[in-house]
A and B are shown apart, each in its own frame.
Chain A
Amino acid sequence: MKTITIDPITRLEGHGKISIFLNDEGNVENAYLQVPELRGFERFCEGRRAEDLPIITTRICGVCPVAHHMAGAKALDAAFNVEPTETAKKLRELMYCGYFIYDHILHFYFLGAPDFVVGPDAPPAERNILGVIQKVGLDIAKEVIKHRAYGQKITGILGGRPTHPVSACLPGGIAKALSKEDRQEIEKMVRSCVEFAKFSLKLFSDVVLKNIDYVNLIKSEPYTLRTYYMGTVDKNNKVNFYDGKVRVVDPEGKEFVKFAPSEYLDVIEEHVEPWTYVKLPYLKRIGWKGLVAGSDSGVYRVGPLGRLNASEGMATPIAQKEYDRMYKTLGGKPVHATLAFHWARLIELMYATERALELVTDKEITNTDIKNKPGKPSEGVGIVEAARGTLIHHYKLDEKALAKKVNLVVATTHNAPGICMSIKNAAKGLIRNGKVSDGLLNMVEMAFRAYDPCFACATHFAIGNMPMEVRIYDDEKRLLKAIRK
């Protein structure tokens, strides 16, 4: 049997590793995504002060620290049995919109755009952010840098620091009110971000949707995966990043379950495999059936497409219009096309900017009632939507408000089974009877990065071009071929 291992050039340790196995006929038997790292947060958070948990857990990820901070803040609200004031909720959500703005811009332009703007068939050396700049021009590149920085700055003003914010570690509130000057500054940045989000959608429309080959690629079988979907929704079942109930729909788009954060253990279980440090979650009621798709398998997907599929729309007008357009273009709900994650991400960027504008122009946003008094420490679950999907923090506190037990189900973890299957599907289309097409790398990479997996956050930066190598061995482990980019 042949083994193909795709390693990012870093030898990959720390950031994900893909192994593809061929059967004796030389066709794809299975694909494994391995996450070769564990840092043990669930253990070393034990014994820590409650208020430190939303600060320590941000260090799980330097790309999405705000998500951990906010899931932690909400877990503390629940554990101390206190509801934040309306102003505090708005400030937290505004900070959260800032995070979505920078994260979604980063992913789309540095990772997604090279595939579409430069083109999936372009030489690897051009399929990166520099290639994007060449295609769209330096002026637009500057806009990308500017608006990503705006997102960071908004988070910085409200959270104290853009990476690893601290201000929402108070159960029942936030530590700093928004000054009139800062509000004005944020409004200016947000207005600019709204326009930039519109521009990004138009760019996607012009470059991708007007190209029938790209649309067909999105809809093609190797990039299709029929699974359940999960995402947080408001009371009208519209997408919400910060608050609400978590809704799961089946592969037909029908509501499967809708649950409050405190009920997550009734819905989700995690399976352990010896070949990866990451656990594999599934819907408890259906059970773990292995890495298979369809309604009989408990595998579900989260993140931008997961959220849009699990919801009944967007709560802001421009995003809603684009939401309708996506489902119309791709043949109704739910969309199982993995590459549609990119489009969904831009629709969410639109929503994040529109929602941020609503919040920053809210007459009460500069109110100073930012804290409610916490009750006695007990147990609580906090759920938010991280850019990459549903994020769950579960804290059990003792009477001194020290952490007794901590459980974390992180966004990319939910998608780990789906990513494995998407890779397998993409590989299947390109490996026939032992012949490996040179296009394999591109295809596998595209399947992989549509999810924006966080353990590969390396690929967020610089050239947005995940270095990979595929090694193909024959039955006697002799190296037959190495494809490198």
Chain B
Amino acid sequence: MEKLKFAFYWAASCGGCEIAVLDINEKVLDVVAKADIVFWPVAIDIKYKDVEAMPDKYIDVCFFNGAIRTEEQEHMAKLLRKKSKVLVAFGSCACDGCVVGLANLWNKKTVFERAYFETPSTKNPNQVTPKTSVKVKEGELKLPEFFDTVKTLAQTVDVDYFLSGCPPPIPCIIQAVEAIFNNKLPPKGSSLLPNKSICDECPREKKDRKLTEIKRIYEIEDDLKTCFWDQGVVCMGPATRAGCGAQCPNVNIPCTGCDGPGPRVIDQGAAIMSALASIATDPSVIDQIVDPIGTFYKYSLAHSILRRKVIK
């Protein structure tokens, strides 16, 4: 059988998705036995122009991680879409925008002001900011443009599958690769994480779920076994897709939602607010919520119905 052709690419991301690929450990050897990696900028010496020279649909499966925030990343997304039979949005940034999507509450100007003017360790009397083209005394230096809005991969090009998570759960990566090798991929548009929520994987016991008061995780005497909601603590589990095995609740920290919207959930934040409203005993409970955007849309603002804040 002819070997499959895989490609990996990273746009605006932290490198954790690449570490997740390494964390499949010895399974990497199986992958290399059955697939050729034809493009992986962090590892393989193949240039963009080599990708451009590939015939369309030359790559069997492209795993694309990172959000889209520069023109170049958008260009690469379009190019890899054209060259790939199957395009997988890999990780929270590509699927949902991840925490960098929270920058959509600001814009380039206000992000720069914080980084280069206001931060207390910065000394910048002439209010210098990085420029896309700068004449230094020896010549000219160029930087890529920084955009106002973070976009997900699916907001940029057509995506076949979504392997979310920050980083994607290792067992789900392995399963996805096996599904590819055995030609058992689900219908286009599917998530490659399980079709259930974090609550289905969580060992904590659910009780009456009457929410009378909202507390912060560091304020409670955690009994180590009851559902966080029963203890008054916001947990993103009900609105979040399973796959990680409830890693955070397993160390007594509520789910923060990094696997992205759960099955049949369009908007992760809306889903959790709806769940919350249904168990709150009194409207005043809602007033106790602090930072709803950062809490409910921590990883999915860019992908949500809200998408960004309008800045005039």
Contact = CB atoms under 8 A, between A and B. Distances in A.
A65 B70 CA distance: 24
Interface in A43-84: 43-44, 46-49, 51-52, 55-56, 59-63, 65, 80
B43 A276 contact: no
A40 B106 contact: yes
B253 A167 contact: yes
Interface in A457-477: 457-463, 465, 467
A189 B247 CA distance: 21
Contact of A272 (B98, B128, B216, B250): B128
B138 interface: yes
Interface in A381-407: 394, 400-402, 405, 407
B42 A400 contact: no
A262 interface: no
Interface in A353-410: 374, 394, 400-402, 405, 407, 409
Interface residues of A, number: 88
Given A270-B119, A276-B130, A36 B143 contact: yes
* Most A-side CB within 10 Å, residue of B112, B248, B295: B248
A39 interface: yes
A163 interface: yes
A269 B122 contact: yes
Interface in B114-142: 114-116, 118-124, 128-131, 134, 136-141
B25 A145 contact: yes
A459 B42 contact: yes
B121 A265 contact: yes
A400 B288 CA distance: 10
A10 B293 CA distance: 34
Given A162-B23, A268-B121, A277 B130 contact: yes
Contact of A61 (B15, B48, B290): B15
Interface in B288-312: 290-291, 293-295, 298
Residue from B42, B100, B146 with most neighbouring chain A CB atoms (10 Å): B42
Chain B contact surface mostly: loop
A163 B20 contact: yes
Contacts of A52: 256, 291, 294-295, 298
Interface in A1-53: 1, 3, 8-11, 13-14, 19, 21, 23, 29-30, 32, 34, 36-40, 42-44, 46-49, 51-52
A170 B218 contact: yes
B251 A279 contact: no
B187 interface: no
Contacts of B141: 19, 32, 34, 275
B306 to A, nearest CB: 14
Interface string B154-194: 00000000000011000000000000000000000000000
B123 A11 contact: no
Scoring B100, B143, B222 by chain A CB atoms within 10 A of each residue's CB, the highest score goes to: B143
A273 B146 CA distance: 16
Interface string B215-236: 0111000100000000000000
Interface range, B side: 35 or more
A462 B43 contact: yes
A365 to B, nearest CB: 16
A149 B112 CA distance: 38
B264 interface: no
B250 A160 contact: yes
Contacts of A32: 136, 141
B214 to A, nearest CB: 11
B15 A274 contact: no
A431 interface: no
Interface of B: 10-20, 22-23, 25-26, 40-48, 70, 72, 98-100, 102-103, 105-106, 110-112, 114-116, 118-124, 128-131, 134, 136-141, 143-144, 146, 166-167, 216-218, 222, 244, 247-248, 250-253, 256, 258, 290-291, 293-295, 298
| List of 5 A-B pairs having minimum Cβ-Cβ separation, nearest first | A62-B16, A462-B43, A21-B138, A160-B251, A458-B42
Given A47-B293, A49-B290, A462-B40, 7 more contacts: A160-B250, A164-B16, A166-B253, A172-B218, A275-B141, A401-B216, A461-B43
